[in-house]
């Protein structure tokens, strides 16, 4: 049956193909792998934030019964400086390798130093405790201001500032300074009648996936390596293994398991190369290693702490004339913070004629920063959207009014270069404007409770990348689909739906599976909100090929030309003959020309930029400083919602993460650089009790460059929440919160500083 959106499958809500396995406990994730003869691995991690490794003595460890192999950084092949483009952005392989197992220095608390494989986990852990490291402690650099200060001791002797494309002559903790410019900034501010400016600080946060990293690797005597792990990109793991271990890419097969969340934190390898080295030393026995939660927090993931300054100028009518942003992001121990994408995002929702954006990538003794859902976007939008709010108040304009007045549209050029294609920012703001939540009045509370309402917008580029998939038609009419895109939140189904729509069959006839790297063509990682867009585009093309072949088969059965056959409503039709059912044609393939198999690989183009606008009501208790989320509505242009509940789920999940970032989540370190809250009790993520229902308002402005209009959904929703909550707190208290998280203690301090008494 065709629905109101004109489609038969797209927009429906089938039960996901992997659903039963996931509600019965049968689905196998990283740590559920168990191979015959496997050994258990354990890792020694640095107790220091910055220290030279003088010597490592493994003799006592090797004597523990059951120990089969021990490796240190010296076991990794020497890789020179090489820039590899792995998944999201370029990585220097030497740095990647030194993050896997430290070389001469430990660069952060939790940095991997040595590893053991033994016949039991207990034995491996005992042996790890017996490894003796002679350390020479060095003073750590723990924050942006210290790291950037003139004369700061550099972490690496060989990192020089890439200063707007030129290399500096002395080593520095500033790995890169980038700039985007548009128009004439001085003239823009001269033209402004109102100018606002402020600096914002955000803490280090983690992606917080519930599944810890786990890898099982076997390095066979014939040189073949098999890797079982949960990853956002099996082909990225293959590439990194090949580069770090110095083996041909053809020797590495990656078998992806189910993945228990990633959010950007499972794009790169951590344990896999170490398990490989252990396996080789142990004579080819498979080695499995799983991180503890403390290891996950201390040594993987986090996304950057940052300092962001924003200055905006506007005319009295609200028209923005100039904007300037300066931002510094912690990269952690190796270069590569998401400051680049933050600089692209920060002012992108608005059409501003004169802009300068400066970004700095800064090293410090913390774990290497990784991507986290819309990398850099939340930090950037928190500052920019707080200032848009401040400007609106100075001009006595409504928060949606000022955003609509300056909204980017088709043809607007971003400060970082690209010109927007058809986008739906205006439609998204209008949807929020007309929503009952915005139209409702917020009841003001009494006593020590104050209520406020805030709005913020957000942008994300989205990404296309390369996807491949193959399919075959079975005699019973089902279509087996083999894909290489990690299914992190239901994409088996959203891709199968696009294949089904394209062929013209029900989605339950498609049987999707995610296969290993030897069984399907290359796929970029599941990241950049690309999978439903790009692998969906591949599924569409696959569907068209299969449909064409099916029609040819039906034509041979009809004994007419293919052009005379139509495939409609599950049947093949030609004039003057009774129709053939889809199942009859599939059952006769062998006699009408042979099996139908097809594969498609595409380097996709035409990803659709996406925008969100969020509205939140909060209640602040000015005695305790605690902020309660009362109501939340998140509008977003998704292009086309293939599977609406999953789209809503992405929006709701992004909001929850953004609220956690806004209110509670933050890495805490002591002065020596030891992480103090490496556990879920003290690294406090939102629970069901901390949140209300989150209304996802789906706006559909189809992406004209995708066959079904898909833009990409996953990342935008985490961009606006921190700004929206901060603006709501301002509305409640009249105090501008300039530091994340806006925790009870910080709120009390800000209230005291502003002279607001309970």
Partner 1 sequence: MSTLAVTTTLNGETVTFLCEPHETLLTALRDRLMLTGTKEGCSNGNCGACNVILDGTLVNSCLVLAAEVDGHQITTIEGIAGPNGLHPLQTSFLENAALQCGICTPGFIVASKALLDKNPQPTEREVRHWLAGNLCRCTGYDKIVRAVLEAASAGATKE
**Which residues sit at the interface with partner 1, rule CB under 8 A?**
13, 15-16, 18-20, 22-29, 31-32, 34, 122, 207-212, 258-263, 290, 292-293, 488-490, 643, 645-646, 648-650, 652-657, 679-681, 685-689, 691, 693-694
Residue of 727, 724, 716, 710 whose CA lies nearest to 653: 716
Residue (624 or 687) nearer to partner 1, CB = 687
> What is the nearest approach in angstroms of ligand FES to the Cβ of residue 645?
13
Convert 710-747 into a string of H (helix), E (strand) and C (coil): CCCCCCHHHCCHHHHHHHHHHHHHCCCCCECCCCHHHH
Q: Which residues contact 300 (CB under 8 A, 6 or more apart)?
A: 206, 213, 265, 270, 291, 367, 370
* Residue 103 interacts with which of partner 1, ligand FES, none, CB < 5 to 8 Å by class: none
Residue of 376, 364, 383, 302 whose CA lies nearest to 340: 376
Q: Spell out the alpha helix ranges (H) of 65-171.
A: 93-100, 121-129, 144-148
> What is the nearest approach in angstroms of ligand FES to the Cβ of residue 653?
8
CA distance 451 to 440: 14
CA distance 90 to 88: 7
CA distance 575 to 582: 17
Alpha-carbon 149 to chain mean position: 31
Residue (290 or 386) nearer to ligand FES, CB = 290
Number of helical (H) and strand (E) elements in the chain, helices listed first: 20, 30
* Residue 652 interacts with which of partner 1, ligand FES, none, CB < 5 to 8 Å by class: partner 1
Residue (46 or 230) nearer to ligand FES, CB = 230
Residue of 301, 387, 314 whose CA lies nearest to 667: 301
> What is the nearest approach in angstroms of partner 1 to the Cβ of residue 586?
28
* Residue 256 interacts with which of ligand FES, partner 1, none, CB < 5 to 8 Å by class: none
* Residue 25 interacts with which of ligand FES, partner 1, none, CB < 5 to 8 Å by class: partner 1
List, in sequence order, every residue forming a beta bridge with 225; answer none if it has no partner: 219, 252
Residue of 583, 557, 553, 560 whose CA lies nearest to 570: 583
* Residue 259 interacts with which of partner 1, ligand FES, none, CB < 5 to 8 Å by class: partner 1
| Tokens of residue 630, six digits | 């009362």
> What is the nearest approach in angstroms of partner 1 to the Cβ of residue 489?
4
> What is the nearest approach in angstroms of partner 1 to the Cβ of residue 406?
30
Residue (571 or 691) nearer to partner 1, CB = 691
> What is the nearest approach in angstroms of ligand FES to the Cβ of residue 616?
22
> What is the nearest approach in angstroms of ligand FES to the Cβ of residue 59?
35
CA distance 729 to 451: 8
* Residue 625 interacts with which of partner 1, ligand FES, none, CB < 5 to 8 Å by class: none
> What is the nearest approach in angstroms of ligand FES to the Cβ of residue 15?
16
CA distance 198 to 386: 9
> What is the nearest approach in angstroms of partner 1 to the Cβ of residue 631?
13
Residue (397 or 713) nearer to ligand FES, CB = 713
CA distance 367 to 381: 24
* Residue 656 interacts with which of ligand FES, partner 1, none, CB < 5 to 8 Å by class: partner 1
* Residue 208 interacts with which of partner 1, ligand FES, none, CB < 5 to 8 Å by class: partner 1
Contact 26, 107 (CB under 8 A): no
Residue (22 or 605) nearer to partner 1, CB = 22
Torsion of CA 543, 548, 550, 551, to 10 degrees: 140
* Residue 685 interacts with which of partner 1, ligand FES, none, CB < 5 to 8 Å by class: partner 1
Residue (607 or 665) nearer to ligand FES, CB = 665
* Residue 31 interacts with which of partner 1, ligand FES, none, CB < 5 to 8 Å by class: partner 1
Nearest residue to ligand FES, by Cβ distance, number only = 210
> What is the nearest approach in angstroms of partner 1 to the Cβ of residue 67?
16
Residue (589 or 685) nearer to ligand FES, CB = 685
Q: Please state whether beta strands 354-363 and 320-332 pair in parallel, antiparallel, or not at all (unpaired).
A: parallel
Residue (24 or 170) nearer to partner 1, CB = 24
Residue (219 or 228) nearer to partner 1, CB = 228
Phi-psi region of 282 (alpha: psi -120 to 50; beta: other; left: phi over 0): alpha
Residue of 730, 724, 739 whose CA lies nearest to 200: 739
Residue whose tokens read 């003595």: 57
Q: Which residues contact 331 (CB under 8 A, 6 or more apart)?
A: 175, 304, 337, 361, 362, 363, 364, 368, 369
* Residue 421 interacts with which of partner 1, ligand FES, none, CB < 5 to 8 Å by class: none
Burial of 123 (C-beta count, 10 Å sphere; 0-12/13-18/19+): buried
> What is the nearest approach in angstroms of ligand FES to the Cβ of residue 643?
15
List, in sequence order, every residue forming a beta bridge with 711; answer none if it has no partner: none
> What is the nearest approach in angstroms of ligand FES to the Cβ of residue 679?
10
Residue (399 or 484) nearer to partner 1, CB = 484
CA distance 230 to 296: 14
* Residue 694 interacts with which of ligand FES, partner 1, none, CB < 5 to 8 Å by class: partner 1
> What is the nearest approach in angstroms of ligand FES to the Cβ of residue 268?
20
> What is the nearest approach in angstroms of partner 1 to the Cβ of residue 692?
9
Burial of 506 (C-beta count, 10 Å sphere; 0-12/13-18/19+): middle
* Residue 284 interacts with which of partner 1, ligand FES, none, CB < 5 to 8 Å by class: none
Angle between helices 93-100 and 272-281 (to 10 degrees): 70
Alpha-carbon 33 to chain mean position: 25
Q: Which residues contact 125 (CB under 8 A, 6 or more apart)?
A: 42
Q: Which residues contact 601 (CB under 8 A, 6 or more apart)?
A: 466, 467, 468, 521, 522, 538
Residue (210 or 668) nearer to ligand FES, CB = 210
Residue (399 or 490) nearer to partner 1, CB = 490
> What is the nearest approach in angstroms of partner 1 to the Cβ of residue 511?
17
Residue (32 or 401) nearer to partner 1, CB = 32
* Residue 93 interacts with which of partner 1, ligand FES, none, CB < 5 to 8 Å by class: none
Residue (262 or 504) nearer to partner 1, CB = 262
> What is the nearest approach in angstroms of partner 1 to the Cβ of residue 269?
19
Which spans of this chain sit near ligand FES (rule: CB under 6 A)? 210, 261
Strand order in the sheet with 320-332: 166-171, 160-163, 174-182, 354-363, 320-332, 306-314, 194-202
> What is the nearest approach in angstroms of ligand FES to the Cβ of residue 549?
38
* Residue 557 interacts with which of ligand FES, partner 1, none, CB < 5 to 8 Å by class: none
* Residue 583 interacts with which of partner 1, ligand FES, none, CB < 5 to 8 Å by class: none
Residue (19 or 261) nearer to ligand FES, CB = 261
Residue (1 or 693) nearer to ligand FES, CB = 693
* Residue 646 interacts with which of ligand FES, partner 1, none, CB < 5 to 8 Å by class: partner 1
């Amino acid at each position: 049956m065709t629905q109101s959106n004109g489609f038969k499958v797209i927009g429906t809500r089938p039960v996901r193909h992997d659903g039963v396995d996931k509600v019965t406990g049968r689905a196998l994730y990283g740590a559920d792998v168990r191979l015959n003869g496997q050994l258990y691995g354990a890792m020694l991690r640095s107790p220091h934030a910055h220290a030279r490794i003088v010597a490592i003595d493994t003799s006592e460890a090797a004597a523990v019964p059951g120990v089969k192999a021990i490796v240190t950084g010296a076991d990794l092949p020497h890789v020179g400086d090489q820039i590899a483009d792995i998944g999201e952005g370029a990585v220097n392989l030497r740095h990647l390798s030194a993050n896997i197992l430290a070389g001469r220095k430990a660069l952060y608390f939790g940095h991997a130093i040595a590893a053991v494989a033994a016949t039991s986990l207990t034995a491996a852990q005992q042996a790890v405790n017996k490894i003796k490291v002679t350390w020479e402690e060095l003073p750590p650099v723990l924050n942006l201001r210290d790291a950037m200060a003139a004369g700061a001791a550099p972490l690496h002797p060989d990192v020089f500032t890439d200063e707007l494309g030129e290399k500096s002559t002395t080593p520095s903790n500033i790995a890169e300074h980038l700039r985007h410019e548009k128009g004439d900034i001085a003239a823009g501010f001269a033209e402004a009648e109102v100018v606002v400016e402020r600096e914002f600080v955000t803490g280090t946060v983690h992606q917080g996936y519930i599944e810890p990293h786990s890898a099982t690797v076997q390095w066979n005597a014939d040189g073949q390596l098999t890797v079982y792990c949960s990853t956002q990109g099996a082909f990225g793991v293959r590439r990194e293994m090949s580069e770090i271990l110095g083996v041909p890419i053809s020797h590495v097969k990656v078998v992806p398991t189910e993945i228990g969340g990633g959010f950007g934190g499972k794009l790169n390898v951590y344990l896999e190369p170490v398990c490989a080295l252990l396996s080789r030393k142990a004579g080819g026995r498979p080695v499995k290693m799983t991180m503890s939660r403390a290891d996950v927090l201390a040594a993987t993931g986090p996304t950057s702490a940052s300092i962001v300054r924003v200055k905006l100028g506007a005319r009295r009518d609200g028209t923005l004339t100039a904007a300037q942003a300066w931002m510094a992001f912690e990269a952690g121990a190796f270069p590569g913070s998401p400051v680049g994408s933050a600089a692209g995002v920060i002012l992108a929702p608005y059409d501003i004629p004169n802009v300068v954006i400066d970004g700095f990538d800064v090293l410090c003794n913390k774990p290497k920063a990784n991507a986290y859902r819309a990398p850099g976007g939340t930090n950037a939008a928190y500052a920019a959207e707080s200032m848009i709010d401040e400007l609106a108040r100075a001009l006595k304009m409504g928060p949606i009014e000022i955003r609509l007045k300056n909204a980017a549209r088709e043809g607007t050029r971003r400060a970082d270069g690209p010109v927007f294609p058809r986008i739906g920012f205006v439609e998204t703001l209008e949807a929020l404007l007309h929503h009952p939540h915005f139209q409702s009045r917020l009841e003001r509370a009494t006593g020590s409770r104050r209520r406020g309402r805030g709005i913020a917008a957000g942008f994300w580029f989205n990404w296309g990348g390369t996807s491949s998939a193959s399919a075959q038609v079975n005699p019973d009419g089902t279509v087996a689909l083999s894909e290489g895109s990690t299914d992190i939140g239901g994409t088996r189904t959203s891709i199968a739906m696009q294949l089904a729509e394209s062929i013209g069959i029900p989605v339950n006839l498609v049987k999707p599976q995610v296969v290993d790297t030897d069984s399907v063509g290359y796929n970029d990682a599941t990241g950049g909100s690309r999978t439903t867009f790009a692998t969906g585009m591949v599924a569409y093309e696959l569907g068209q090929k299969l449909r064409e072949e099916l029609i040819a088969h039906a034509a041979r059965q009809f004994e007419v030309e293919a052009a005379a056959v139509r495939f409609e409503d599950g049947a093949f039709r030609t004039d003057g003959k009774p129709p053939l059912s889809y199942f009859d044609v599939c059952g006769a393939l062998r006699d009408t020309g042979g099996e139908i198999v097809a594969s498609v690989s595409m380097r996709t183009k035409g990803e659709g930029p996406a925008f969100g606008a969020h509205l939140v009501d909060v209640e602040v208790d000015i005695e305790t400083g605690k902020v309660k989320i009362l109501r939340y509505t998140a509008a977003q242009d998704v292009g086309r919602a293939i599977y609406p509940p999953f789209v809503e789920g992405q929006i709701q999940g992004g909001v929850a993460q953004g609220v956690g970032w806004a209110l509670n989540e933050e890495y805490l370190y002591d002065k020596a650089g030891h992480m103090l809250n490496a556990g879920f009790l003290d690294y406090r993520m939102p629970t069901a009790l901390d949140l209300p229902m989150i209304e996802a308002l789906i706006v559909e402005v189809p992406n004209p460059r995708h066959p079904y209009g898909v833009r990409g959904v996953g990342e935008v929703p985490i961009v606006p929440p921190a700004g929206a909550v901060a603006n709501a707190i301002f509305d409640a208290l009249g105090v501008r919160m300039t530091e994340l998280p806006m925790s009870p203690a910080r709120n009390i301090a800000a209230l005291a500083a502003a002279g607001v008494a309970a």
